[in-house]
Amino acid sequence: MSMRKVLSILAASAMAVSLLAGCGSTASAPAAAPAAEEKKEEAPAEEAAPAEEAAEEAAEAAGGDLADKKVGVCIYQFSDNFMTLFRNELQSYLVSQGFAEGNINIVDGANDQATQTNQIQNFITEGVDVLIINPVNSSSAATITDMVHDAGIPLVYINREPDADEEARWADNDWDVTYVGCDARQSGTMQGEIIADLGLDAIDFNGNGAIDYIMIKGDPENIDAQYRTEFSIKALEDAGLKVEKLDEQVGMWQQEQGQSLVANSLAAHPETEVVFCNNDAMALGALQAIQAAGRKVGEDIYLVGVDALTEACEDVLAGTMTGTVFNDHISQSHSAADAAINYITGAGNEHYIGCDYVKVTADNAQDILDSLK
Ligand code: BGC
């Protein structure tokens, strides 16, 4: 499917969602994420097409030279479902843009920063033309940036956003370093809104006037985990709802951990009304635990995740998940590749390239599934 088709389908579903939510535009949806808005001014979703065109033009101007260019890609962990979708799309898009398959080297950091740092060192020694890095630890970004920049190699960070001080350094020094990703505050806000939109009466099974919830977090070092945890609950409070946290556990983004943690939590807190998971993998595990406990999503409990994995969208359609949030791996991987091309050709990039999340409920889950085919 062409990028433009994906964008137009997403724009249509985002519009449908914002109409349902009573918002005028996607940009106004994450009201609780001010920095997302500021950042998005630099690169809103609507500008993705021109950026893509610029990369295409730049690639053409390079006279097909991309076939000789070497790209090193470091992924924090291959077994992560979301990053698997991301890297497969990145690989095929890089090839479609003219890179030779043999010149695209994607390596597995095995969730170990020392391993990944070695891999980066090897790419530097090999003399790759550009690096695309999904850091194991975002807090290692300054060290990684220094290594890569000192070697004169442009760098595109993906998925795990370095902190504001680190990003400011790239702009202050005018280095060829950028970050491509979404603002996790927006995804947390959307998760909370999906629940808030149900209304207190539908959620408050025990009639205590509060939303009794458990939270299953991803890697706490990761800003996505921190913001989704914070902003999902903030959205409930902003909607005037009272909340009661029954449990908060770290599931490291993994399905098995989501399953065992939620099984324990539900046994200890049968009064749980909502299970928030920072991603769909953990939500799929949570669903197994919910079903094993004889509970029914939509009838005596609610469940939300993030990513819009195919299986999660199918659960949303079947009513076995309340909702999820589309983490657009297609747009993000294409933007990352476009940014890499822009560095190779000398066109350059902004230091932050954003992307919008999309709220997914039973109303638009099919559209999202169709757009992913
Ligand atoms: C995704 C998670 C994934 C994580 C990896 C997040 O943006 O939602 O599914 O595990 O990135 O860093």
DSSP string spanning 75-108? ES-TT-HHHHHHHHHHHHHHHHTT--GGGEEEEE
Range of the domain at 217: 185-326
Q: Is the CB of 83 under 6 A from ligand 1?
A: yes
Ligand 1 center from residue 281 Cα (angstroms) = 9
How far, in Å, is the centroid of ligand 1 from the Cα of 62?
Answer: 34
* Domain termination site, one of 286, 308, 326: 326
Quick one: 172 exposed, middle or buried, by C-beta within 10 A (0-12, 13-18, 19+)?
exposed
Q: What is the CATH number of the domain that holds 206?
A: 3.40.50.2300
Q: Are 32 and 75 in a shared domain?
A: yes
22 shares its domain with 120:
yes
In a domain, 363, yes or no: no
The closest residue, in CA terms, to atom 11 on ligand 1 is: 159
Q: Is residue 365 part of a domain?
A: no
Domain match, 282 and 321 both:
yes
Whether 201 is in a domain gets the answer yes
**253 CA to centre of ligand 1 in angstroms:** 7
CA dihedral 93, 99, 101, 103 (to 10 degrees): -130
- Ligand 1 lined by 140 (C-beta under 6 Å): no
- Say if residue 201 is in the same domain as residue 89: no
Pair (129, 198) in one structural domain: no
The pLDDT profile of the chain, 373 residues, written as one tens digit per residue, is 434 334 444 444 443 333 333 222 223 333 333 343 344 333 334 444 556 666 666 556 554 589 999 999 999 999 999 999 999 999 999 999 999 999 999 999 999 999 999 999 999 999 999 999 999 999 999 999 999 999 999 999 999 999 999 999 999 999 999 999 999 999 999 999 999 999 999 999 999 999 999 999 999 999 999 999 999 999 999 999 999 999 999 999 999 999 999 999 999 999 999 999 999 999 999 999 999 999 999 999 999 999 999 999 999 999 999 999 999 999 999 999 999 999 999 999 999 999 999 999 999 999 999 999 8
CA nearest 130: which of 334, 337, 335, 340? 340
Distance CA 142, CA 183 (A): 20
Question: For residue 144, what pLDDT is reported?
Answer: 98
Domain count, the chain: 2
How far does residue 222's CA lie from ligand 1's centre (Å)?
A: 9
Do 162 and 199 belong together in one domain?
Answer: no
What's residue 62's pLDDT?
Answer: 52
Are 143 and 66 members of one domain?
A: yes
Contact present, 372 and 88 (Cβ < 8 Å): no
Ligand 1 atom closest to 80 (CA): 10
Asked if the structure places residue 50 within a domain, the reply is: yes
Same domain, yes or no: 45 and 149: yes
Same domain, 46 and 195: no
* DSSP conformation class of 141: H
Domain assignment present for residue 229? The answer is yes
